[in-house]
Amino acid sequence: MTGTVFAAGMNRRDCLALLSGLALGVPSLAMAAPSFSSWVASFRAKALGRGISPATYDRVMGALKPDASVFGQIRSQPEFKEALWQYLNRRVSDWRLTEGKDKLKEVGALLARIEQDYGVDRYVLLALWGIESAYGDPIVQKNHMRPVFPALAALAFGEPRRRAYWEQELINALRIVERGWSTPGEMRGSWAGAMGHTQWMPEVWLNIGLDYDGDGRVSPFGSPADALASTARYLVNRGKYRRGEHWGYEVRLPSGRRGGDRPKTYAAWQAAGVVRADGKAFSPANATAKLWVPVNGGPAFLLGQNFYAVRSYNPSMNYTLAIVHLADRLAGGGPFVQPFPGSERPLTLAEIQEVQKRLTASGFDTKGTDGRVGAATMVAVKAFQQKAGLVPADGYPGLKVLARLRRGG
């Protein structure tokens, strides 16, 4: 899971950088002073001063125990060095394409209505939903989500460098309960508090969330209507998404050009010899875009405003490229015309399942054989690569790993 958008002044990537820094030495909750119960008692006045009722505070916080595992989880996150093509192959996967097309049949009318209301391309929303929560898969909620109040309270209590931020998000979560939009039992999310179909932090829930399905509450859970419409609203309000513009295009460059130019209109780029890789016309010609070549020798892109609107949801260029490329593929587009250097085709759903089954049978448990590549599968692949002497041991389940497994390891 990638997490979600964070509060104003602190985006998702800032938060991840902050929390990864905790591995350098956060005091354990057991060593911190005052005790957690004393902190809960003292924090009560601050929460009440910000509009939380005594009844809500006592109901949620009275018997709460901190989820101290958030700190251990941060320190023990497995690390994988992925090339961009590997990152894209894992996210723009056969499973996400197949499941996304099925979801489009299920919620196509909803996505069309949101597109009409907010101008955000339905396939962009569908792709973001697919990458953030596997299209709201309940298995993801069950196996990878945790109650957010113990996690947020642990961070508010035990992380001194950004305590004000975590305290505010804890109060935001309490406000959601106060409004009757959710319950502590329903509010399950990532260790940082991101929740639901499109992984909202409490601040986003409060300030961007919409009751789009008209059931009297704003919720990122259950029906995806509120989550998808509110995410469209986020992309428009905070990302400045433009109705009717594509995110950008893969392009072919004239000889010698490498990128780094200032934004120009598509018409100006075309006049300079830059053309769409698929041979079609740029549209609209007067929209502006910036040239980006992420890997020398790989595909080049002209990035319009809507690429950066999506990037506002997670300020990673790789993440954003995965979202918009998945959107194009769900809309019927093909792979990039220019391959990345050293890349290989992604495995099919059946091939990923075969890798998982063979790994598990060989003692490298992938925690399931559903054709989705998560952390457990990557850990198993890396362990197998190390044992088999495959270099690099990067955790990527590709053609080389599959071939070696078929030969018996």
Structural domains of the chain sorted by starting position, each given as residue range(s) with its CATH number in brackets: 248-330 (1.10.530.10), 349-406 (no CATH)
| pLDDT on residue 159 | 81
Q: What are the tens digits of pLDDT across the range 183-230?
A: 999 999 998 899 999 999 999 999 999 999 999 999 999 999 999 999
User: Angle at which helices 54-61 and 148-158 pack, to 10 degrees?
Assistant: 90
Q: What is the DSSP letter of 205?
A: H
How far is it, in rounded angstroms, from Cα 76 to Cα 160?
Answer: 20
Q: What are the tens digits of pLDDT across the range 277-291?
A: 999 999 999 999 999
209 neighbors 220 (Cβ within 8 angstroms): yes
How far is it, in rounded angstroms, from Cα 150 to Cα 194?
Answer: 13
Backbone angles phi, psi at 191, to 5 degrees: -65, -20
Inform me whether the pLDDT recorded for 350 exceeds 60: yes
Q: pLDDT-derived band of residue 371, with 50, 70 and 90 as boundaries? A: very high
Burial class (CB in 10 A: 0-12, 13-18, 19+), 54: exposed
Token pair recorded at residue 370: 């559903």
| pLDDT on residue 81 | 81
| pLDDT on residue 11 | 44
Q: Please report, rounded to a whole number, the percentage of residues in the chain having pLDDT higher than 90.
A: 81
136 neighbors 224 (Cβ within 8 angstroms): yes
Stretch 157-161: mean pLDDT, rounded?
Answer: 84
Q: What is the mean pLDDT of the chain?
A: 90
| pLDDT on residue 21 | 42
Q: What are the tens digits of pLDDT across the range 217-266?
A: 999 999 999 999 999 999 999 999 999 999 999 999 998 776 667 899 99
| pLDDT on residue 160 | 79
Backbone angles phi, psi at 289, to 5 degrees: -155, 160
Burial class (CB in 10 A: 0-12, 13-18, 19+), 211: middle
Q: What are the tens digits of pLDDT across the range 297-310?
A: 999 999 999 999 99
Give me the residue label for tokens 């990532």: 190
How far is it, in rounded angstroms, from Cα 375 to Cα 159?
Answer: 26
Stretch 314-329: mean pLDDT, rounded?
Answer: 97
End-to-end CA distance of the chain: 30
Q: What are the tens digits of pLDDT across the range 2-54?
A: 333 333 334 443 444 344 444 434 445 443 546 999 999 999 999 999 999 99
Q: What DSSP letter does each residue of 303-342 carry, written as one string? A: EEHHHHHHHTTS--HHHHHHHHHHHHHHTT--S-SSPPTT
In 10 A of CB 265, how many CB atoms? 15
Inform me whether the pLDDT recorded for 331 exceeds 60: yes
Token pair recorded at residue 176: 């959601």
Lowest-confidence region among 134-148, 350-364, 393-407: 134-148
User: Angle at which helices 84-91 and 317-330 pack, to 10 degrees?
Assistant: 40
Establish whether the linkage from the previous residue to 254 is cis, with ω within 30° of 0: no
Q: Please report, rounded to a whole number, the percentage of residues in the chain having pLDDT higher than 70.
A: 89
Inform me whether the pLDDT recorded for 347 exceeds 90: yes
Which residue stretches of 179-316 are H helix?
202-208, 225-237, 266-271, 305-311
Question: If residue 291 lies in a helix (H) or strand (E), which one and from where to where?
Answer: strand 288-292
Inform me whether the pLDDT recorded for 124 exceeds 60: yes
How far is it, in rounded angstroms, from Cα 50 to Cα 43?
Answer: 11
Q: pLDDT-derived band of residue 75, with 50, 70 and 90 as boundaries? A: low
